[in-house]
Amino acid sequence: MASVAGAGPATAASTRTVSCTSAQAGLADQLKEDITAALVRRKGTIAIGLHDRVTDTTCTLRPATAFDSASVVKVTVLAVLLWDAKAQNRSLSARNASLAKAVITKSDNAATSTLWKQLGMTKIKAFLAAAGMNQTRPGAKGHWGLTRITVTDEMKLLKLLTARNTVLSDNARAYILKLMGQVVPAQRWGTTYGVPSGCSVAVKNGWLPRATHGWRVHSVGTFKGAGHDYVITVLTHDNSTMKDGITTIQGVAKAIHKAIHNNLTASGS
């Protein structure tokens, strides 16, 4: 895949190369065209991942570009917690279950900090190794929101959540997706936008402003139904505002959902 940094809003689409492949005739070309069109006049640095198991479709843009994770790392934190519980052959305590629910459904920062400290860097890094998330670098000194992530690794995690594997138990996968499906309404933007009715949805978003690279705004989601089973990651930074990042992500998501589901009418979610 080739990618060149955008030269400005008017030429953004022409300077960002989306790579798509699919076993379904015409779908790769349609996705590339529609995603590229969605990026026209969008500022910022944008990375995209899509994989649909049913049609063996994959799209990527800047898959190895690193971003500060903001709150999307909270899915990883919960995965580490459940992976560790499985390794020790025990269930989550009531306290940890309460923290986990707050971490995912409300994006609770204090609960995340508690679990991050409780797990410790050794277990976090061991999980990343087990999951093959070799491009992820945990944030130092408790700064979990500054964990460095890539589309490649986030897609690995989403695929672990949505198919049987040896890293996460079926119960753990179901538990994480259940909580991601219960995210409070105010935080259900992003990759969910434009998904047609009849699809089950699990989502986690992240947003963080810093002096460099402006707003980081990210969204990861899983979608199953209407004959498809797919996962989407969109990571962005260099946004002037949080709203700018959300608008970019939702434009990409709408294009993906519409192309995947073909003649189904996509509507905002």
| pLDDT single digits (tens) 193-216 | 999 999 999 999 999 999 999 999
pTM of the shown model: 0.92
Q: Tell me, yes or no, whether 226 lies in a domain.
A: yes
Q: What is the pLDDT of residue 262?
A: 83
Q: What is the pLDDT of residue 16?
A: 65
Query: To the nearest whole percent, how much of the chain has pLDDT over 90?
Result: 91
Q: Tell me, yes or no, whether 2 lies in a domain.
A: no
Report yes or no: 197 and 155 within 8 Å, Cβ to Cβ.
no
Q: Tell me, yes or no, whether 265 lies in a domain.
A: no
Query: To the nearest whole percent, how much of the chain has pLDDT over 70?
Result: 91
Report yes or no: 244 and 44 within 8 Å, Cβ to Cβ.
yes
Q: What is the mean pLDDT of residues 147-155?
A: 98
Q: Tell me, yes or no, whether 266 lies in a domain.
A: no
Q: Tell me, yes or no, whether 52 lies in a domain.
A: yes
Q: Tell me, yes or no, whether 94 lies in a domain.
A: yes
In the predicted structure, residue 9 carries a pLDDT above the cut 50: no
Q: What is the mean pLDDT of residues 109-123?
A: 98
Which helix (H) or strand (E) segment holds residue 105: the answer is helix 94-105
Residue 3 to residue 107: CA distance in whole angstroms: 32
Q: Tell me, yes or no, whether 87 lies in a domain.
A: yes
In the predicted structure, residue 14 carries a pLDDT above the cut 90: no
The total of structural domains in the chain comes to 1
In the predicted structure, residue 132 carries a pLDDT above the cut 50: yes
Q: Which of 41, 37, 47 is nearest to 7 (CA)?
A: 41
- Read off the DSSP letter of residue 214: B
Q: Tell me, yes or no, whether 269 lies in a domain.
A: no
- In the sheet that holds 57-61, the strands lie side by side as 19-21, 57-61, 45-52, 228-239, 215-225, 200-209
Report yes or no: 70 and 145 within 8 Å, Cβ to Cβ.
yes
Q: What is the pLDDT of residue 261?
A: 94
Q: What is the pLDDT of residue 264?
A: 41
CATH number for the domain spanning 227: value is: 3.40.710.10
In the predicted structure, residue 102 carries a pLDDT above the cut 80: yes
User: What φ, ψ does residue 235 adopt, rounded to 5°?
Assistant: -115, 135
Q: What is the mean pLDDT of residues 40-54?
A: 96
In the predicted structure, residue 228 carries a pLDDT above the cut 50: yes
In the predicted structure, residue 166 carries a pLDDT above the cut 50: yes
Domain that holds residue 203: 9-260
Residue 97 to residue 220: CA distance in whole angstroms: 22
What are the CB-based long-range contacts (under 8 Å, 24+) for 3-7? 3/61, 3/62, 5/45, 6/43, 6/45
Which one has a higher pLDDT value, 9 or 34? 34
